[in-house]
C-alpha cells in the first residue's frame, strides 16, 4: 500500500514549456486534490475532483488544467509554464462517502518545480 504517489519528484522547466504532474492513490479514495505550497503562503488549493468524472477549481486555478483519468489517477498540467508557477506541488486524496467520519486528506511526497 503505497498511499499517494507523485511523479516526478523534481522538475526544471523553461518559461513557456509544458508538463504534466502525475498523481496516483491506491486507497480507493474518491476525492483527489492538487495544492501548491510557497514560502510564507501555506497550502493553496489549485483544483480538486470530488469524485471520478468531476473536477472543480480551487483558490488558484489560473495557468493549470487537470484530468481525473480514473478513480486512482489525477494529473495536473501546466500548458505554458511561468516563473510564478515555481513551487512545491502536493497531491492529496480523501475518502468521501456515507461511512467516512474523519475526512482525512492523505498527501503525496510533493513535486518541486522550478520555472526559469
Partner 1 sequence: KNQVEQSPQSLIILEGKNCTLQCNYTVSPFSNLRWYKQDTGRGPVSLTIMTFSENTKSNGRYTATLDADTKQSSLHITASQLSDSASYICVVSPPGNNRLAFGKGNQVVVIP
Q: Which is nearer to partner 1, 85 or 111 (CB)?
A: 111
Residues sharing a CB contact under 8 Å with residue 74, sequence separation 6 or more, in sequence order: 23, 24, 32, 33, 34, 49, 66, 67, 68, 91, 93
What are phi and psi for residue 85, nearest 5 degrees? -90, 5
Q: Which is nearer to partner 1, 14 or 103 (CB)?
A: 103
CB of 102 to partner 1, least distance (A): 6
Q: Which of 45, 71, 72, 75 binds partner 1 (CB under 8 A)?
A: 45
Rg (CA), the chain: 14
| CA distance to 38, 62, 81, 83, 116, per residue, from 16 (Å) | 21, 15, 5, 9, 10
Helix (H, G, I), strand (E, B) or coil at 27: coil
Asked if residue 44 binds partner 1 (CB under 8 A), the reply is: yes
Q: Which is nearer to partner 1, 76 or 108 (CB)?
A: 108
CB of 56 to partner 1, least distance (A): 8
Asked if residue 34 binds partner 1 (CB under 8 A), the reply is: no
Site for partner 1 in 94-113 (CB under 8 A): 94, 96, 102-105, 107-110
Site residues, partner 1 (CB under 8 A): 4, 31, 40-45, 48, 50, 56, 58-59, 90, 92, 94, 96, 102-105, 107-110
Amino acid at each position: 500500500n503505497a498511499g499517494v504517489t507523485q511523479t516526478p519528484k523534481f522538475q526544471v522547466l523553461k518559461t513557456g514549456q509544458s508538463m504534466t504532474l502525475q498523481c496516483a492513490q491506491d486507497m480507493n479514495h474518491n476525492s483527489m486534490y492538487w495544492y501548491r505550497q510557497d514560502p510564507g503562503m501555506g497550502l493553496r488549493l489549485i483544483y480538486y475532483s470530488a469524485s471520478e468524472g468531476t473536477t472543480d477549481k480551487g483558490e488558484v486555478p489560473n495557468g493549470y488544467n487537470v484530468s481525473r483519468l480514473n478513480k486512482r489517477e489525477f494529473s495536473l498540467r501546466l500548458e505554458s509554464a511561468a516563473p510564478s508557477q515555481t513551487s512545491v506541488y502536493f497531491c492529496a486524496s480523501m475518502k468521501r462517502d456515507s461511512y467516512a467520519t474523519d475526512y482525512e486528506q492523505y498527501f503525496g511526497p510533493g513535486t518541486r518545480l522550478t520555472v526559469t
